[in-house]
């Protein structure tokens, strides 16, 4: 049974993606003991302790919607971005052994990891919303398309950042560490734990330069149309950032693929 | 057939571009030829193998692979530590487009590697010998026209080595081989032709004995 003499580049790429996806899914879900359980537990705990804090300071509503829903939805949207970008950033380093096969390129590992993480987060989101419904939260979105569009935008931004940062982290470990340090305040600046809409001017406009703010508030607005979102909410702005980062990332990947493999 | 045309290669170091490793290599490797690649440490043997294997690109010049060329075998690469032997084997089958007859090939690999139930344990629990047995079994499971090997034959214990050498023999009777080895006996056993790498340039010898003689001469010079 002779191997196909020449496969088209597309066939090869698809075969590589499939193989990588199965390989990544195995280690992500079963790599450590009950790894799949921790994937879910982490956001659950995160929401839970934020809810405790908000209960202690007696904030029942934020921007017109119930605090638990506001927190949960915003955090899930943020995780969609953060986990995708974090996983993608480490993709090249963790798959170094596989670049002996010339069919496998660094960019393949980044794309597959971000894709897998997006799928994982969709499942986590559904499960957490179902859990919220058990506690009497109104978890059915009023505008499902807006929610999906915003979540997709957050994922795309994560992918774009992951494409860029995986190159930086692989070629200069110091750069990677610096990037992680710079990203840390994003959690505070994205409006996960406090409503950006309540920040006084001119600081609010400055914070609104962060595309994550738009994604987060769009998701919340999709769940509850009476939510007081930040003025000038613009999902297109999130997508512009995402597209620029994705394009830049792909260019970096093409230009520097060789140097990431051989060191 | 593999054509190497005017290939230059240097690596980036932390202090800018490094010295030239290969300085204008011109080679035509005919089909079904067994070639030994020799040269002193750092002469660029592994570099040339990587370039021929397509996992790295030359800085200048180009390489044409007009046949199916294997990945560079040996040196511990190509195995993911967190996955089991079987999962690794599946991965390699998939990227080489053998989704349809995967079961047969996995069986073949399992049998040849003879790892017993360790085949279903993560590779990180393997000993060095077990790893190279798996790698060797993997490389035998696919039909390539040219195999490239970086010190691959010296794997495992005596019994396995015996089996591996026989299989290797059969393999190179039907396909070409480009191998790097420091063992003179290994080279004489498997190769007919030779390439001597010296100071960034390559010299072709139709007879491996001549290549080895020239190599020894270059060491004294």
Give the model confidence (pLDDT) of A108-167 as tens digits: 999 999 999 999 999 999 999 998 889 888 888 889 899 999 999 999 999 999 999 999
What is the average per-residue pLDDT within A4-17?
A: 82
Degrees to nearest 5, angle at CA A88 with A82 and A94:
130
Smallest CA–CA distance, residue A60 to chain B, in Å, is: 46
Amino acid A166: pLDDT = 92
Degrees to nearest 5, angle at CA A152 with A146 and A153:
90
Amino acid B152: pLDDT = 64
Amino acid A251: pLDDT = 94
Amino acid B82: pLDDT = 84
Cβ-based contacts of B98 with chain A (< 8 Å): 3
The reply to whether residue A262 touches residue B98, judged by beta carbons under 8 angstroms, is: no
The lowest-confidence range among A47-61, A186-200, B55-69, B141-155 is B141-155
What is the average per-residue pLDDT within A179-186?
A: 87
Query: Is residue A6 pLDDT above 80, yes or no?
Result: no
Smallest CA–CA distance, residue A212 to chain B, in Å, is: 34
Of residues B107 and A57, more confidence is placed in: B107
Cβ-based contacts of B96 with chain A (< 8 Å): 3, 15, 103
What is the average per-residue pLDDT within A42-48?
A: 87
CA distances from B69 to A51, A97, A104, A127, B32 (A): 59, 19, 15, 47, 12
Confidence of residue A218 (pLDDT cuts 50, 70, 90): very high
CA–CA separation, A235 vs A225, rounded Å? 15
Compute the count of residue pairs across chains A and B with CB atoms less than 8 Å apart.
76
Q: Which two tokens stand for residue A123?
A: 């499942």
The reply to whether residue A98 touches residue B80, judged by beta carbons under 8 angstroms, is: yes
Contact B173, B202 (CB under 8 A): no
Burial A110-149 (b: 16+ CB within 10 A, else e): bbbbbbbbbebbeebbeebbeebeeeebebebeeeebbeb
- Comparing CB atoms, the residue among B53, B83, B101 nearest residue A102 is B53
The reply to whether residue A23 touches residue B54, judged by beta carbons under 8 angstroms, is: no
Amino acid B75: pLDDT = 64
Contact A139, A69 (CB under 8 A): yes
Amino acid A159: pLDDT = 95
Using a CB–CB cut-off of 8 Å, the residues of A that contact B are 1-5, 7, 11-12, 15-16, 18-19, 22-23, 26-27, 31, 95, 97-104, 258-259, 261-262
Instruction: Give the pLDDT of chain B (221 residues) as one tens digit per residue.
Output: 888 888 888 887 777 788 888 888 888 888 888 888 888 888 888 888 888 888 888 888 888 888 888 888 876 678 888 888 999 999 999 988 888 888 889 998 998 888 888 899 988 898 888 888 888 888 888 888 888 887 765 566 778 778 888 888 888 888 888 888 878 888 888 888 888 888 888 888 888 888 888 888 888 76
Confidence of residue A1 (pLDDT cuts 50, 70, 90): very low
Smallest CA–CA distance, residue A159 to chain B, in Å, is: 23
* Residue in B with minimal Cα distance to A22: B91
Count CB atoms within 10 A of the CB of residue A100. Answer: 22
Peptide bond into A202 cis (omega under 30): yes
For chain A, what is the domain count?
Answer: 1
Q: Quick check: is A1 in a domain?
A: no
The reply to whether residue B79 touches residue A26, judged by beta carbons under 8 angstroms, is: no
DSSP-derived 3-state class of residue A49? helix
Smallest CA–CA distance, residue B143 to chain A, in Å, is: 7
Amino acid B155: pLDDT = 62
Provide the percentage of residues in chain A whose pLDDT is more than 70. Answer: 97
DSSP-derived 3-state class of residue B90? helix
8-state DSSP, A185:
T
Amino acid B153: pLDDT = 58
Q: Which homologous superfamily does the CATH classification assign to the domain defined by B2-70+180-220?
A: P-loop containing nucleotide triphosphate hydrolases (3.40.50.300)
Contact B124, B143 (CB under 8 A): no
Cβ-based contacts of B91 with chain A (< 8 Å): 19, 22-23, 98
Mean of the per-residue pLDDT values of chain A: 87
User: How far is CA A206 from its chain centroid?
Assistant: 23
Q: Which domain holds residue A91?
A: 31-261
The reply to whether residue B97 touches residue A95, judged by beta carbons under 8 angstroms, is: no
CA–CA separation, A83 vs A117, rounded Å? 7
User: How far is CA A31 from its chain centroid?
Assistant: 21
Query: Is residue A92 pLDDT above 50, yes or no?
Result: yes
**Spatial CA neighbour of B7 closest among B19, B16, B21:** B21
Q: Is the ipTM of this complex over 0.90?
A: no
| B101 in A contact zone (CB under 8 Å) | yes
CB within 8 Å of B108: residues ≥ 6 apart = B137, B140, B141
Domain boundaries, chain B: 2-70+180-220, 85-145+153-176
Contact A90, A38 (CB under 8 A): no
Helices A106-134 and A144-171 cross at an angle (nearest 10°) of: 140
* Residue in A with minimal Cα distance to B59: A258
Amino acid A83: pLDDT = 92
Amino acid A53: pLDDT = 87
């Amino acid at each position: 049974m002779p191997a196909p003499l020449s496969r088209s580049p597309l066939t090869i790429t698809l075969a590589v993606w499939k193989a990588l996806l199965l390989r990544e899914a195995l280690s992500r879900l079963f790599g450590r003991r009950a790894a799949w359980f921790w994937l879910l537990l982490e956001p659950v705990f995160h929401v839970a302790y934020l809810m405790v804090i908000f209960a202690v300071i007696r904030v029942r509503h934020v921007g017109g919607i119930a605090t638990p829903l506001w927190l949960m939805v915003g955090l899930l949207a943020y995780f969609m971005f953060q986990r995708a970008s974090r996983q993608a950033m480490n993709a090249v380093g963790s798959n170094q052994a596989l670049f002996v096969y010339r069919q496998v390129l660094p960019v393949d590992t980044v794309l597959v990891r971000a894709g897998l993480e997006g799928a994982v987060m969709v499942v986590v989101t559904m499960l957490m919303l179902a859990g919220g419904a058990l506690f009497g939260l109104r978890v059915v979105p009023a505008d499902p398309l807006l929610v999906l569009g915003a979540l997709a935008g957050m994922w795309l931004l994560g992918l774009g950042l992951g494409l860029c940062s995986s190159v930086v982290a692989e070629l200069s470990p110091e750069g990677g560490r610096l990037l992680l340090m710079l990203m840390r305040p994003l959690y505070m600046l994205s409006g996960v734990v406090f409503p950006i809409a309540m920040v006084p001017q001119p600081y609010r406009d400055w914070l609104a330069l962060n595309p994550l703010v738009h994604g987060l508030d769009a998701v919340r607005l999709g769940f509850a149309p009476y939510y007081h979102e930040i003025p000038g909410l613009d999902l297109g702005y999130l997508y512009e950032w995402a597209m620029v980062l994705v394009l830049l990332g792909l260019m970096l990947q093409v230009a520097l693929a060789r140097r990431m493999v051989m060191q | 057939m593999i054509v190497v045309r005017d290939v230059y290669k240097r690596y980036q170091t932390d202090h800018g571009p490094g010295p030239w490793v290969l300085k204008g290599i011109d080679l035509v490797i005919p089909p079904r030829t067994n070639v030994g690649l020799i040269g002193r440490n750092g002469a660029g043997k592994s570099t040339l193998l990587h370039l021929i294997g397509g996992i790295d690109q030359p800085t200048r010049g180009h390489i044409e692979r007009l046949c199916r060329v294997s990945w560079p075998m040996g040196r511990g690469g190509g195995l993911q530590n967190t996955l089991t032997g079987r999962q690794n084997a599946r991965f390699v089958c998939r990227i080489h487009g053998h989704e349809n007859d995967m079961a047969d090939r996995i069986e073949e690999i399992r049998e040849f590697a003879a790892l017993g139930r360790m085949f279903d344990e993560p590779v990180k629990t393997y000993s060095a010998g077990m790893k190279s047995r798996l790698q060797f079994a993997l490389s035998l499971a696919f039909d390539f026209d040219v195999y490239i090997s970086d010190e691959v034959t010296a794997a495992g214990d005596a019994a396995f080595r015996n089996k591996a050498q026989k299989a290797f023999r059969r393999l190179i009777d039907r396909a070409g081989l480009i191998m790097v080895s420091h063992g003179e006996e290994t080279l004489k056993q498997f190769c007919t032709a030779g390439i001597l790498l010296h100071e960034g340039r390559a010299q072709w010898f139709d007879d491996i004995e001549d290549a080895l003689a020239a190599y020894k001469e270059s060491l004294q010079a």
